[in-house]
Structure 1
Amino acid sequence: MFILFGSPRSGTTLFKESLNLHSGIFIPHQTTFISPVAHLIGCISDWSKAQTLITQLIVSTDDYREVLAPYISPSEVEEVLGSAKPTLAGILQAIYGRIARNTGKSICGDKTPDDLLSIRKLEQVGLLHSDVKLLHIVRDVRGVMSSLKNVIWAPEGIEEYFPRLWNYTNLHLHNAMRGRPNYLLMHYEDLISNPQGALARVTDFLGLPFEEAMLDNNKRAPVLRNDASHLNLAQPFLNDRATSWKSELDPQIIKHCETTATEALQVFGYIS
């Protein structure tokens, strides 16, 4: 299995929905169980007790019925966890391995931007030291902030603290995984400017051939394309979104981003 990591409004949904057009790949809608399971594993060392609680946690999440139940039943969750390795990586491989089997796909993955906020805990319980494949998409924080200012769910004042979160979380994951064969860094800007090249890199990383179908915006995200937060999903890859922040974002916010997220902006090549 694999996990697609990225900050909110960094193109994770566009990335995920493009991958879902591949005949051998499946990623369900956003889940909420990975970080809670990581915290549970981190505080209960007795696997026999943890296993029961983890099973109950997964099938009791508010989104389980809609997001996971169509692809793996509660009894199957209990079954696969019964033989899973007692690690977060083992749990994820067991669950997504069964989902792949049930959906007839070659590989399945998970995509939930909130999990990047728990990157230190995921590292502590061994996920970053496992062989789970990690896709990491990064978008210039100035572009992220421009996008966040256009969604109704963004908290008031997010421009004050989010650049610091973007800086820390993306750097932490990148520094921990850089150079590892099971880690692939993708820039949002590369995805929208050269989608075929970017997606071909990803399918090669996942051990699958590239398929032209992944470029078909007419078939992308049939469920999400009418969501107010994802209206561009139905559009072709919009290259102008890479630099639109220059005209859309308040100069003071741009300056704040550059001041508080300097290190990651430099590491990821957005400033010199």
Structure 2
Amino acid sequence: MFILFGSPRSGTTLYKESLNLHSNIFIPNQTTFISPIAHVIGCISDWEKAQPIIIDIITSTDDYTEVLKPYISPIEIQEVLSTAEHTLAGVLEAIYNRIGRNSGKAMCGDKTPDDMLAIRKLEQVGLLNSNIKLVHIVRDVRGVMLSLKNVSWAPEGIEEYFPRLWNYTNLHLYKLMRGRPNYFFLRYEDLVSRPQDVLSRTTAFLDLPFETTMLDHNKRAPILRNDQSHLKLSEPFLNDRAVAWQSDLDRDIRQHCEASASEALQAFGYAL
């Protein structure tokens, strides 16, 4: 399996839905169970006590019925975890291997932007030192902030603290993992400007052949394309959106982003 990491509004859904057009890849819609069970594993060392809590968390999340249950039942979760390695990586591999078997896909992954906020906990419980493949997409925080200011669910005042979160979480994952064979890093700006190149390198990383169907925006995200947060998912790769912040982002927010996240901006090759 693999995990697709990225901050909110960084192109994780566009990337996921493009990968899902591959005949042998499946990534369900956003889940919410990885970070909670990481905390359970981190504080309950007795697996006989931790396992039923983990099962209960996975099957009780608000999104389980819609997102995961069509591909793995509660009974199957209990079954695969009974023989899984007693680690977060073992739990995830057991679940997604069964989802892959049930869906007929060779490679399955998880995509949950909120897990970036728990990156240190995921590191502490050993996930980042496992053999699970990690795909990490980063978008210029100034572009992220412009996108966040255009969605209704973003908390008031997010421009004050989010650039610092973006800087820390993405830089921590990048510096910890770069150079490792199970880590693939890309920038959103490269995905939308050179989609075939980025997607072909992604499939090579996942040990799968590239398929041109991943470039077909007409087939992308049939369920999410009517979601108010993802109205542009069914459009071609929009290179102009990657630089829209240069003209559309409030000057004060732009300066705050550059002051708060300059280290990561420079590390990822973004000009200040």
TM-score (norm 1): 0.99
Distance across 2 between alignment mates of 1:123 and 1:175: 12
Provide the residue aligned with 2:227 in structure 1. 227
Superposed CA deviations along residues 176-218 of structure 1, whole A, max 9, x for unmatched, are: 1011000000100000000000000100000000000000000
> How many angstroms apart in 1 are the aligned matches of 2:53 and 2:163?
35
Equivalent residue letter for 2:56: Q
SS of match in other structure, 1:225: helix
What does residue 98 of structure 2 align with? 98
Q: CA deviation at 1:57?
A: 1.1
Aligned to 1:27: 27
Q: Residue 218 of structure 2 aligns to a residue in which SS? A: coil
Structure 1 equivalent of residue 133 of structure 2: 133
Gaps of at least 5 residues in structure 2 are none
Q: 3-state SS of the aligned residue for 2:180?
A: coil
What is the Cα deviation at residue 56 of structure 1?
1.2
Residue 196 (structure 1) aligns with? 196
For structure 1, the 5+ residue unaligned runs are none
Taking the aligned partners of 2:189 and 2:35, their CA distance within structure 1 comes to 28
Partner of 1:142: 142
1:134 Cα deviation from its structure 2 partner: 0.3
Aligned to 1:217: 217
Alpha-carbon distance in structure 1 between the residues aligned to 2:242 and 2:62: 35
Taking the aligned partners of 2:110 and 2:268, their CA distance within structure 1 comes to 23
Q: Deviations over 1:12-65 (max 9, x none)?
A: 000000000000000001000000000000000001111111111111111111
TM-score, normalising length: structure 2: 0.99
Structure 1 residue 252 and structure 2 residue 248: aligned?
A: no
Give runs of ≥4 in structure 1 deviating > 4 Å.
none
**How do 1:80-99 residues align onto structure 2 when only pairs under 5 Å count?**
80-99=80-99
Cα distance between partner residues in 2 of 1:144 and 1:265: 12
Match of 2:264 in 1: 264
Structure 2: distance between partners of 1:170 and 1:16: 18
Inter-partner Cα distance in structure 2 for 1:147 and 1:54: 34
CA shift at 1:271, angstroms?
2.2
| Identity of matched residues, % | 73
Query: Partner of 1:241 in structure 2?
Result: 241
The DSSP-based 3-state class of the residue aligned with 1:180 is: coil
Matches within 5 A, 1:48-59: 48-59=48-59
Q: In structure 2, how many angstroms separate the alpha carbons of the residues matched to 1:203 and 1:228?
A: 29
RMSD over equivalenced CA pairs, Å: 0.6
Between the aligned partners of 2:56 and 2:253, the Cα distance in structure 1 is 43
The residue that corresponds to 1:113 in the other structure is: 113
| 1:51 partner letter | Q
